[in-house]
Amino acid sequence: MRAPAIVLLLAPLALLGQQAAKNSCLDCHSALDGAAQRPSLLSKTDVHTVNGLGCADCHGGDRTSDDPSVAMNPAKGFIGKPARTAIPKLCARCHSDPDFMRKFRPQQRVDQYELYQTSIHGKRLASGDYTVATCIDCHSVHDIRQVKDALAPVHPLRLPETCGRCHADSQKMAKYGIPTNQLADYRTSVHWNALKIRGDLSAPNCASCHGNHGAKPPQVESVAAVCGSCHVPFGQLYQKSVHEPIFSAASGGGGCIVCHSNHAIHQPSTAMLEGPNAVCSRCHDPGTPGANAAAQMATWIDGLDSSLKQSEAVLTSAEKYGMEVSDAQARIGDGRENLVKARLALHSMQLSEVKKPVDAGMAIANETLRAGQAALREKDFRRWGLAVSVLLIGIAIFAIWLLIRRIEIKGGHWRDAGAPVPK
């Protein structure tokens, strides 16, 4: 990444340049009040300012002149406050120009405007709806920060909130007829939990599935591919399963979200297979082969989970007694892997595929349970052994005590009185 280094090296020069090359916009506007002053205050932290760009690079005009009529002269290119519908094109003037962007960051993408035009936002803007999101609604304006800057509105942790500014506002969404529960749902999801609480920045936010500049809800045919881009084996199994064509033909979105929801994605469990909140029973009536298969899978998986937990409990109890059971405890890890594989396998919707890891896992659970029970038996053996030796020691002590009593009854253990005694 040489560009930032070069910029860093050049920055002092740029400062010199700035001091030498005037920015009359800032000079005047920082002396004003209210809305006219705001941009000059915000722009100090703007990524463009840091890279040596100034107000005139977007708004046009002449930054060298203190005379407002010259500085803000349309003949010098001054455009004032651009219309919202003109904003994306304005940004794209630089951001879609690879030769220009190469001066600052050669790796940066230059297709944002192109993607934006394919998005719902872009299309609506083009038809004159200026209330939809433009560049500055997500990226802010005058204090634009890089995506990786924790204060940027498009930082992974803040992006959902930014999207939610419109998409969770029922008044704004009323005219489009779009629901506004996505943000609230997403906040209950495992993905948000991973982002916010575990701090895993690789977890998906709105843009990960919907795209950012080309934002569009994934269509039915894309859902499994989108989820499957991270959850690869699940996607692969699902694509080959009987559900794929059925879900694809259904209305209201298909693929993974039929069972797992799109935004309110919660930690899955066997409660999804069987029970009052099961998703399978939404389509499979009780007694049908599908329902039976789901119930069987739930039984197997729950059985494996509880068997592993039982083994773990026995091993922990043996460990508390001081027995060395670390090998068996490590083996439980293998058993847990089989549990994970079983949960994966059920996405093939085939009992035979689920049975394999379940059987392997149960074998491990039994093996470790036996190891734990053997350790507990060994503990008992040790305590019995201790009891026996303490008993024998007690007998020996008792016998010696009797012996002492016997030999001392006659008093022969006292030294002759008057014999020389050491000091």
Partner 1 sequence: MDQDGRQGCCGCEKSREALAGGAVASPNSEQSRRSLLSWLVGGGVAASLISFLYPVIRFLNPPHVTEAAVDEVSGGKVADLKPNSGKIVRFGSKPALLVRVSDIEWKAFSAVCTHLNCTVQYQETTHQIWCACHNGTYDLMTGRVVSGPPPKPLEEFAVRVRGDEVVISRRA
Partner 2 sequence: MKAASWLGERLDLSAVRELIEHKTVPVHSATRWYYFGGITLFLFGIQVMTGILLMLYYRPTVAEAFESVRFIMTRVEFGWLIRSIHSWSANLLIFVAFVHMFSVVFTHAYRRPRELTWLSGIALLGLMLFFGFSGYLLPWNKISYFATKVGTDVAANAPFIGPAIARFLRGGEDVGAPTLTRFFAFHVMILPLCAAALIAVHVLMIQKQGMSTPPWLSASSVRQMRFFPNFFLRELMVWYCALAALGALAAIFPWELGEKADPFASAPAGIRPEWYFLAQFYTLKLIPSHVLIFEGEILGILGFGLLAAAWAALPFWGVDRLGAARTRLVTGAGIVMVSYLAVFTVLGYIK
- Applying CB under 8 A, the residues found at the interface with partner 1 are 200, 202-203, 229-233, 326-327, 329-330, 333, 337, 340, 344, 388-389, 392-393, 395-400, 402-403, 406, 408-412, 414, 417
CA distance 380 to 25: 87
Interaction of residue 421 with partner 2, rule CB under 8 A: yes
Q: Rule CB under 8 A: choose which of 130, 323, 341, 349 binds partner 2.
A: 323
Q: Residue 157 in contact with residue 196, Cβ under 8 Å?
A: yes
How far apart are CB 321 and partner 2 at their closest, in Å?
Answer: 8
Q: How many residues bind partner 2 (CB under 8 A)?
A: 27
Interaction of residue 330 with partner 2, rule CB under 8 A: no
Give the residue with the Cβ less far from partner 1, 26 or 318. Answer: 318
Question: Footprint of partner 2 on residues 355-414 (CB under 8 A)?
Answer: 382-383, 385-386, 389-390, 393-394, 396-397, 400-401, 403-404, 407-408, 413-414
CA distance 195 to 147: 15
How far apart are CB 222 and partner 2 at their closest, in Å?
Answer: 46
**Residue that has been written with the tokens 């934006």 in this structure:** 116
Give the residue with the Cβ less far from partner 2, 278 or 325. Answer: 325
| Residue 289's binding partner out of partner 2, partner 1, none, with CB under 5 to 8 Å set by partner kind | none
Give the residue with the Cβ less far from partner 2, 297 or 323. Answer: 323
How far apart are CB 107 and partner 1 at their closest, in Å?
Answer: 16
Rounded to the nearest angstrom, the gap between the alpha carbon of residue 56 and the centroid of all alpha carbons in its chain is 40
CA distance 259 to 280: 8
Q: Residue 43 in contact with residue 49, Cβ under 8 Å?
A: yes
Tokens of 152: 């940027």
User: How many angstroms separate the Cα of 259 from the Cα of each of 74, 108, 286?
Assistant: 58, 38, 18
User: How many angstroms separate the Cα of 177 from the Cα of each of 167, 340, 343, 379?
Assistant: 11, 40, 37, 69
CA distance 168 to 176: 13
Give the residue with the Cβ less far from partner 2, 31 or 404. Answer: 404
Q: Which helix (H) or strand (E) holds 191?
A: helix 190-196
Residues that bind partner 2 (CB under 8 A): 322-324, 326-327, 382-383, 385-386, 389-390, 393-394, 396-397, 400-401, 403-404, 407-408, 413-415, 421-423
